[in-house]
Structure 1
Amino acid sequence: MVEAGSIPDEYIEEESSAEPTYKQDQDDNVAQDSSGGGLIIPAAVPTLPGASAEEPYVGQEFESEAAAHAFYNAYAAEVGFIIRVSKLSRSRKDGTAIGRALVCNKEGYRMPDKREKIVRQRAETRVGCRAMIMMRKINSGKWVITKFVKEHTHPLNPGSSRRDMFEIYPNEHDKIRELSQQLAIEKKRSVTYKRQLEVIFDYIEEHNVGLSRKMQRIVDSVKEMEPKEEEEHNH
């Protein structure tokens, strides 16, 4: 295991056995985000052209977060394991991503499910593996590896093809496809709701304008009646 830096006070650790150890050199607070905790990287971040299977090292820089993902993904496919997102660090100033942890998909332990005693026993897929990389965004805009744990606690399948690796988890493609479809549906619903709200607001605005005009006419009528009443009273 190789690593650099220490955990700054600005970092908040949440539900992850892969503890951040990178140092913050920007005047920025960071909030941890567990989104994507179950995302298998090979399906989400394809290997980019030029990505190699060389071993990562602390201090290694990448032009973008996606390039770092692709690099570690290619390395994992060559060595024989699958990676997933463990932790995302966001800036509290503007919400942009400034830190990321990628771990072996066998990291941690699965919590027991009481329902499985009745239905079926699932195969154990998490064995507390600590293999991972930590990376963070630096002032130049590049991403740098700040921690690398090479050792795995389970047998690897070196040289396996991407197809062979997916055979271990055959449902991952279907899950991601289903989630993508659901996301698209929710986006369409959101657009529809927004349009409906705009129609309602337009109606309310038009109604209020009409009501204001009616009120103004009543006020004008009252003002016109006041001089007439005074004139009649004087006579």
Structure 2
Amino acid sequence: MFMCCCVAVEGNSLPEEDVEMMENSDGKNTVTDEASPMLEPFIGMEFESEEAAKSFYDNYAAGMGFLMRVDAFRRSMRDGTVVWRRLVCNKEGFRRLRPRRSENRKPRAITREGCKALIVVKREKSGTWIVTKFVKEHNHPLLPLLPNGRRHCQLSQTPDEKDAKIRELSAELSRERRRCAALQQQLDMVLKEMEEHSNHLSININNVIQSVREIESNTFTKPFS
């Protein structure tokens, strides 16, 4: 039996593999990473790996018309490996409210609506992963599929979501530009100091050479006693 502790939430994961069912020697069905018709999750469904579970639910999400998000997980206190994983709709939860910096600033689009759709998978002692919870219902309209049966995150976003993403990326670009400008200023200062040091060193060397030449000249021109 594994003892587990809760850990932080991860970001989105959208693998490209399809899935199929294979029968183990004990007669149970296990999902692998090969192509097959879309299946609906059910409690007790088994997967050969955590990645197979992610791939399966991602393809199921694409077929139903929503995006999967890889959510919370738990690790074994014995060896630190992941033994429990929650996969949710990308509209799960609610965005934390933060004070607006400016009244003129356009509010960010609401991308989370408290959707409860999810599956929970747990690793068994045998190494297989089993579905222990499945919630099918969504509290929002599902998005249409593209002709190829897959959806891209950017294509599935609403105009407001795209605007919010553009603003986020623009702000990040602005921060990076300011950071680069500061680094460039520091680099210019370092190069200037190196140049000044090099010039000062050259002057000192020239002074030493001149002094040596004067000494040599005085030595050779001094009459012998």
TM-score under structure 1 length normalisation: 0.56
What letter matches 1:30 in structure 2?
C
- Tell me what 1:162 maps to: 150
How many residues end up aligned between the 2 structures? 145
Question: Is 1:123 matched with 2:109?
Answer: yes
CA displacement at 1:159 relative to structure 2: 3.0
For 1:102 and 1:153, the matched residues in 2 are separated by 16
Q: Report the secondary structure of 2:63's partner residue.
A: helix
CA displacement at 1:165 relative to structure 2: 4.2
Question: Is 1:30 matched with 2:33?
Answer: no
- Tell me what 1:47 maps to: 17
| 1:91–1:63 distance in 2 versus 1, CA, 3 Å | same
| 1:93–1:165 distance in 2 versus 1, CA, 3 Å | same
Give yes or no for contact 1:77–1:158 (8 Å, CA) kept in 2. Answer: no
For 1:73 and 1:109, the matched residues in 2 are separated by 21
Give yes or no for contact 1:106–1:129 (8 Å, CA) kept in 2. Answer: yes
For 2:124 and 2:152, the matched residues in 1 are separated by 36
Matches within 5 A, 1:154-193: 154-160=140-146, 161-167=149-155, 168=157
Of 116, 137, 145, the match for 2:123? 137
CA displacement at 1:154 relative to structure 2: 0.1
CA displacement at 1:31 relative to structure 2: 0.9
- Tell me what 1:219 maps to: none
Q: Report the secondary structure of 1:126's partner residue.
A: coil
Q: Report the secondary structure of 2:58's partner residue.
A: helix
- Tell me what 1:59 maps to: 44
Unaligned runs of 5+ in 2: 19-33, 173-225
Give yes or no for contact 2:63–2:150 (8 Å, CA) kept in 1. Answer: no
- Which structure shows the bigger proportion of residues in helix conformation? 1
Q: Which of the pair has the greater relative contact order for Cα pairs under 8 Å at 6+ separation?
A: 1
CA displacement at 1:113 relative to structure 2: 2.0
Moved more, 61-70 or 152-161: 152-161
CA displacement at 1:120 relative to structure 2: 1.9
| 1:25-49 deviation per Cα after TM superposition (whole angstroms, max 9, x unaligned) | x2x210111141xx2221xx33243
- Aligned-pair Cα RMSD in Å: 2.5
For 1:76 and 1:125, the matched residues in 2 are separated by 17
Which has the larger Rg? Answer: 2
- Tell me what 2:181 maps to: none
Unaligned runs of 5+ in 1: 1-25, 179-235
Give yes or no for contact 2:38–2:63 (8 Å, CA) kept in 1. Answer: yes
Percent of paired sites with the same residue:
41
Question: Is 1:107 matched with 2:92?
Answer: yes
Q: Report the secondary structure of 2:142's partner residue.
A: coil
- Tell me what 2:63 maps to: 78
| 1:115–1:121 distance in 2 versus 1, CA, 3 Å | same
| 1:117–1:55 distance in 2 versus 1, CA, 3 Å | farther
Give yes or no for contact 1:51–1:70 (8 Å, CA) kept in 2. Answer: no
- Tell me what 2:78 maps to: 93
Question: Is 1:146 matched with 2:132?
Answer: yes
TM-score under structure 2 length normalisation: 0.58
